[in-house]
Amino acid sequence: MPNTIIIGSGSYIPTKVIGREHFINSVFYTDEGDKIDKPNEEIIQKFVDITEIENRRYLEDDEFNSDLGYRAAKEAIYDAQINQEDLDYIIYASNFGEVDKNGMTNFMPSMSARVKNKLGIQNRRCVNYDMIFGCPGWVEAMILADTLIKAKKAKLILVVGSETLSRVTDAFDRNKMIFADGAGAVVVKATDEENVGIIADATLCDNNAELNYLENAPSLKKDEDQKPLYIRMHGRKIYEYALKYVPDAIKETIDKAGLTIDDIDKILIHQANAKMDYAMISRLHKLYGKTDYDHAIAPMTIQEFGNSSVATIPTMFDLIIKGNMKGQNFKEKGNIVFASVGAGMNINAIVYKFP
């Protein structure tokens, strides 16, 4: 049975840096629709203390999700040194599709079809799939790619994660300060080499009471037009859910690979809240009886890039493997974990071994 290895990566980080001053004149409301009667400096500082997000990146007014995805994809294809016409599949993870500057979403044509068009790929047998799976979408797209390769349905797949969350936020919601834009991509290839690439994975979907922990909802300001829908995050419920279930899911995947936490060099985890990520990584180590660990095992980009959803993990992978993230690198023939949690609620994880 063939295995799935990454042979190229790319990312696009928008150049527009949005700092705390961008929100200084905002008017914020509670989930109950009441105006928050506190100085914005205090609201913003408390937000930074919890999330550690000082800056985030936004796309330009004339850019679209597919533009970001195209740039990351083009770089990944170049890095892989392949002929793009040889791609069997393009899998594109996003949650809102092509969003215009007025917040209108569009999934027709699909994002994967759009990026195939922008790349100029003529191969009619290159199949385009969209993956809509919440923030874990890119990791799930990798799991799908691995399934296709192991089933011998494909040998070469482009996997993209791109999102423009800045265009789907409520102007009156404090949580808008979490969200950001960006894109990351990899090219994966089938190999007959044993015990390399994606050596284990796990996916869990809790879609009962957890279904609306992340949802689309009208503005918190009740006298605003209630027809447009924005991303709404119930932070406390998400925090409790993630802390309870994500560490177990990661451990399950590591165990499935026949490894322990001591064999894992890096954990690239989706980032929406630094406090939550620290707690999840700490609890993971406690599951292995460890109360102390090297915090460099879990690199963080949220402080400067914000939460770019499906783009977070592939962007981080691209930065590290190309030596563009200070103090971070991958060990030769080492093991790393990709892990994410998000809307649905969905959790997934991959153990990847470098060839």
Judge whether 3-195 and 198-353 match in fold.
Answer: yes
Order of strands across the sheet that contains 346-353: 197-205, 346-353, 335-342, 264-269
Whether CATH 3.40.47.10 fits 3-195:
yes
- Decide: 180 and 57 in contact? Cβ < 8 Å: yes
Please tell me the distance from the alpha carbon of residue 41 to that of residue 275, in angstroms, as a whole number.
Answer: 20
316 membership: H or E segment, kind and range: helix 312-321
First to last CA, the chain: 16
164 membership: H or E segment, kind and range: strand 156-164
Residue extents of the structural domains in the chain: 3-195, 198-353
The confidence score (pLDDT) of residue 102 equals 87
Count of Cβ atoms closer than 10 Å to residue 82 Cβ: 17
**What pTM, to 2 d.p., does this model score?**
0.96
The confidence score (pLDDT) of residue 149 equals 98
Question: Candidates 3.40.1110.10, 3.40.50.300, 3.40.47.10, 3.55.40.20; correct CATH number of 198-353?
Answer: 3.40.47.10
The confidence score (pLDDT) of residue 235 equals 87
Please tell me the distance from the alpha carbon of residue 137 to that of residue 243, in angstroms, as a whole number.
Answer: 19
Helices (H), 37-193: 40-51, 65-80, 111-119, 137-150
Please tell me the distance from the alpha carbon of residue 90 to that of residue 245, in angstroms, as a whole number.
Answer: 30
Please tell me the distance from the alpha carbon of residue 116 to that of residue 310, in angstroms, as a whole number.
Answer: 19
Q: pLDDT (tens digit, 0 to 9) for every residue of the chain, 355 residues total?
A: 999 999 999 999 999 999 999 999 999 999 999 999 999 999 999 999 999 999 999 999 999 999 999 999 999 999 999 999 999 999 999 999 999 988 889 999 999 999 999 999 999 999 999 999 999 999 999 999 999 999 999 999 999 999 999 999 999 999 999 999 999 999 999 999 999 999 999 999 999 999 999 999 999 999 999 999 999 999 899 999 999 999 999 999 999 999 999 999 999 999 989 999 999 999 999 999 999 999 999 999 999 999 999 999 999 999 999 999 999 999 999 999 999 999 999 999 999 999 9
Query: Among 127, 154, 160, which residue's Cα sits nearest to residue 9?
Result: 160
In the DSSP assignment, the letter for residue 255 is H
Query: Among 323, 354, 18, 334, which residue's Cα sits nearest to residue 179?
Result: 18
The confidence score (pLDDT) of residue 316 equals 98
The confidence score (pLDDT) of residue 101 equals 86
The confidence score (pLDDT) of residue 319 equals 98
Please tell me the distance from the alpha carbon of residue 237 to that of residue 197, in angstroms, as a whole number.
Answer: 34
**Side chain identity at residue 273, one-letter code:** N
